Structure formats: structure tokens, C-alpha cells
Amino acid sequence: MDAVEIVERARRMGIVLSAEDGVILARPKGVTPPDLAEAIRALKPDLLRLLARPEPPAAPCPGCDGCAFWRHRGPWVCERCHPPVIDPLERFAVPVSPRRVDTATPNSRNPLIPDVIRDKISAIETEARVLGWPPELLYGGSFWNFPRALSSVLDDDDEIIEVTRDYIAILRVRRDLLRFARAH
Ligand SMILES: [Zn+2]
């Protein structure tokens, strides 16, 4: 059982877990079964990270101007640029100013990444997201302080050949000299 499963199991039992001052609280009190309490103790650091609620975004998405955000384990993520592939733990909508006109188009997804790189990442995004890769680790985004994203290590000629929970394997196409001879 990982931290997300603990929160979901508790929720099914009508127990709400929260993190306050480095302590995991379960409400209502006195109804948490011993094995769940044991799991909570064992995974306390993970739970504190999961339950610590990041400040919701103060402004629309810088990439697409969208106002709908969601989060599961990590930071708030734009719902239009990165639709959730799993059920989010939380949703948040940035209040829209009535004067703001929504001009976003599908092409505004991650506008700072070259098309060829974005296409390579899009091709594996669903698979990677199911395996727990957060969008900011795939596409980056300076506003989330993730300087080292997949998008920043991929070259135009690279191919993504494997996506696992722990790593994404990239085949670097080497430019070795090859002589194609007419006669052998
Ligand atoms: Zn967006």
C-alpha cells in the first residue's frame, strides 16, 4: 500500500487524513483500524508530502491561459495542457476576470518546446502519466521550478524507446560514418 492508496482506503471508510505541523491526523478520531494506523505510521514521510497542500495557482496557466487546475500527488497542473489520466485528488479554478478573453488553441500547449520534441513527448505522455510521471517532469515549466525535464534532454534525432516507472530510455542516434559499398 503506498501513500495514495492509504488516503483512498481511508476515504472509503469515511476517514479524512490531513497533515498538520508534521503530524498525520485522522478524523473522526478513534475509528482508524490498527492495520491502517500501522500503514500510516510506516509511510508517514510520504503521506506528509502527499497531504501537504501546495498553494493553488494565483493566475491562469502561462502556457494556455486556462483557469482549471488539478493535482494528485504533486503540484497544481493545468487541466487543458495536461488533462488528468487518473482521478485527481483535488481540483481548483482560478477566478476569471470578466474582461479576459479566452484565446487558447490546442497549439498553445507548451509553446516554448519545439514541435518535434513536443510530438515525441506527447506520443508517450499517456503511458508515462499512468506510470506516475508528472507533466512538469516531462515538459518542464520554469514556473514549477523543474529545470531538468525530459524536454530539456531530448534532441531532435532522439527516440524514446522505453517508459518505466523509474526511467525513460532514450535512444541517442549516433552520427557514425557508414560507407555503403557498391561491390563486396
Ligand atoms: Zn495550460
- 37 C-alpha to center of ligand 1: Å? 38
The tens digit of pLDDT for each residue in 111-156 reads 577 888 888 888 888 888 888 888 878 887 544 444 578 888 888 8
Which domain range does residue 57 map to? 53-108
- 139 C-alpha to center of ligand 1: Å? 12
Q: Which of 108, 123, 155 lies at the terminal end of a domain, its last residue?
A: 108
> Is 21 within a domain?
yes
> Is 148 within a domain?
yes
User: 108: which residues sit within 8 A by CB, 6+ positions away?
Assistant: 63, 64, 65
- 101 C-alpha to center of ligand 1: Å? 15
> Is 131 within a domain?
yes
Q: What is the pLDDT of residue 175?
A: 64
Q: 97 and 140: one domain?
A: no
> How many angstroms separate the CA atoms of 85 and 151, rounded?
20
Q: 61 and 47: one domain?
A: no
Q: 116 and 165: one domain?
A: yes
- 135 C-alpha to center of ligand 1: Å? 11
Q: 128 and 142: one domain?
A: yes
- 145 C-alpha to center of ligand 1: Å? 16
Q: Helices 34-42 and 3-12, interaxial angle, to 10°?
A: 150
> Is 68 within a domain?
yes
- 75 C-alpha to center of ligand 1: Å? 14
Q: Which of 108, 124, 152 lies at the terminal end of a domain, its last residue?
A: 108
The tens digit of pLDDT for each residue in 95-118 reads 765 544 444 444 445 557 788 888
For the entire predicted model, the pTM comes to: 0.38
> Is 184 within a domain?
no
Q: 116 and 161: one domain?
A: yes
Has residue 41 got a pLDDT over 80?
Answer: yes
- 182 C-alpha to center of ligand 1: Å? 53
> Is 61 within a domain?
yes
How many C-beta atoms surround the C-beta of residue 84 within 10 A? 15
> Is 150 within a domain?
yes
The total number of structural domains in the chain stands at: 3
* Higher-scoring residue by pLDDT: 54, 159: 159
> How many angstroms separate the CA atoms of 151 and 138, rounded?
6
Q: 123 and 139: one domain?
A: yes
Q: 114 and 167: one domain?
A: yes
Arithmetic mean of pLDDT over the chain: 80
- 32 C-alpha to center of ligand 1: Å? 39
- 110 C-alpha to center of ligand 1: Å? 8
> Is 183 within a domain?
no
- 88 C-alpha to center of ligand 1: Å? 16
Q: What is the pLDDT of residue 10?
A: 92
Three-state DSSP state, 21: coil
Q: 29 and 81: one domain?
A: no
